[in-house]
Amino acid sequence: MLVHIEELLNLPEISVYSYTIEQTRIKIECTSRFEVAVCPSCLTVCSEVKMYYTKSVRDLSMNGKAVILELKERQFRCPECGAYFIERFGFVDPFRTMTRRYEGYISGVCKGASIKQVSVQENLLWDVVQEIFTRHAAAELEQEGRHQGVRWLGIDEIAVKKGHKDFVAVLIDLERACVIDVLEQRNKDFIIKYLKENYDQEFFDQIEVFSCDMWGGFVGVAKELMPNATIVIDRFHVVKQLHKALNDYRKTLRKDFPNDENLKRLRWVLLKRAEDLSPEEKTRLEQAFSSCPLLEQVYQLKETFRKIFDAQVSRETGENLLELWVTQAKSLNIPALNTFLKTLTRWKELILNYFLKRISNGILEGINNLIKTLKRQAYGYANFQHFRQRILIACQ
């Protein structure tokens, strides 16, 4: 029977001499198979045992029961150098009370669950599980080198807390669709200082495209650090601003015509792509347009704007189409739309760079949803470095 236990354990270094099966755990008493040990100081083979110790080591569970190895360790004295040392085993790190494979299992489970869930599942202290995940995640990230070979770099902000509070900056490799880094602050000076301290000039020189939203801080980072990068204003952020203008105009109509049923509950229908509308939604829009023909013109402008950026055209053609669109939008003289036109004019040159590279931060939406899931699982993060590790491990 002991032979079967040893086969199940699959730890060739040890020999089992007894075991006890309890209600929630299996205690296995074991010792080294070898009569001698090698001195770590002078590499002399030693056989003189001075003392015995018993160390409890947690291993992978069997049949739903925790496995505890009651490991008998020996203290040797080296006859050559006189040093005293305790024998080591390859399946458990020095000064650890869990086998390497069990720690690996804990770290792997943490990738898909919260620290609290894993601690309850494995009957371990929360801080023990967190320490294991932090240590293994740090080792995994150190070996990755995910910043190497990055050519298309995107940057965006995400809210750490509900209600768009405490924003952090996320660096994305747009070519490989993975997160490169997460920065605790999003202001320009902090980002520049952090990047200079953690990345070399080779990284900055290899960036061919830098995609961001319409915030001067992000653009300033690229201009200061990345001499070879073409800066592109992310098209989805531009469209988001246009959607805001359309929605603001809808709100104005609701105030001006509070009793018009055709203008109620239109927000998501107006922002939806025309080709994605259901027959019922198309009917609702037609009714709204009959009440306010000008709303239809604004809606069609929104659709035309999107089609301009969907078209496979050159930068020059894109610029001509955009200028024509601006002329049409100005003719309507709608305050909310005029505000968007000012933003569009200010960032025009960098927006038009989209037609050169056709790169956007669109993949961040999927990453953002994953990050929201991580926050929900953990009910938020008090420690930013834990949050950062979670994102980097999950968004590889």
Q: For the segment 191-202, what is each residue's pLDDT rounded down to a tens digit?
A: 999 999 988 999
DSSP 150: -
DSSP 12: T
The domain ranges of the chain are 1-93, 98-144, 152-234+360-394, 235-357
Least confident of 149-158, 220-229, 296-305: 149-158
**Side chain identity at residue 100, one-letter code:** R
Give the pair of three-digit tokens for residue 122: 């494995």
Residue 373 pLDDT grade (very low, low, confident, very high; cuts 50, 70, 90): confident
pLDDT, mean of residues 270-288: 91
For residue 266, the tally of other CB atoms under 10 A from its CB is: 21
Give the pair of three-digit tokens for residue 67: 């496995």
Residue 5 pLDDT grade (very low, low, confident, very high; cuts 50, 70, 90): confident
- Check residue 144 and give its pLDDT: 66
Identify the helix (H) or strand (E) that includes residue 31. strand 25-32
pTM: 0.76
Least confident of 191-195, 220-224, 372-376: 372-376
**Measured between alpha carbons, how far is residue 369 from residues 117, 165, 179, 365, 394 in Å?**
21, 16, 13, 6, 12
Query: How many whole angstroms separate alpha carbon 40 and alpha carbon 87?
Result: 9
345 alpha carbon, distance to own chain's centre: 33
Give the pair of three-digit tokens for residue 351: 């927006």
Assess contact for 37 and 49: CB atoms under 8 A.
no
pLDDT, mean of residues 92-96: 89
**Side chain identity at residue 75, one-letter code:** Q
pLDDT greater than 80 at residue 67 = yes
The percent of residues above 70 in pLDDT, for the chain, comes to 94
Assess contact for 261 and 254: CB atoms under 8 A.
no
Q: For the segment 382-396, what is each residue's pLDDT rounded down to a tens digit?
A: 677 877 888 888 776
pLDDT, mean of residues 219-226: 94
Query: How many whole angstroms separate alpha carbon 158 and alpha carbon 391?
Result: 12
Of 3.30.930.10, 1.10.10.10, 3.30.420.10, 3.30.428.10, the CATH number of 152-234+360-394 is 3.30.420.10
Phi-psi region of 181 (alpha: psi -120 to 50; beta: other; left: phi over 0): beta
pLDDT, mean of residues 54-59: 93
Give the pair of three-digit tokens for residue 9: 């354990």
Assess contact for 233 and 352: CB atoms under 8 A.
no
DSSP 263: G
Residue 280 pLDDT grade (very low, low, confident, very high; cuts 50, 70, 90): very high
For residue 163, the tally of other CB atoms under 10 A from its CB is: 6
Residue 378 pLDDT grade (very low, low, confident, very high; cuts 50, 70, 90): low
264 alpha carbon, distance to own chain's centre: 38
Q: Is the dihedral of CA 305, 308, 309, 315 positive or negative?
A: negative
pLDDT, mean of residues 199-223: 92
pLDDT greater than 70 at residue 380 = no
Assess contact for 184 and 177: CB atoms under 8 A.
no
Query: How many whole angstroms separate alpha carbon 367 and alpha carbon 196?
Result: 25
105 alpha carbon, distance to own chain's centre: 21
Give the pair of three-digit tokens for residue 219: 């653009």
DSSP 262: G
Assess contact for 83 and 48: CB atoms under 8 A.
no
Assess contact for 272 and 281: CB atoms under 8 A.
yes
Q: Among 63, 66, 65, 74, which residue's Cα sits nearest to residue 14?
A: 74
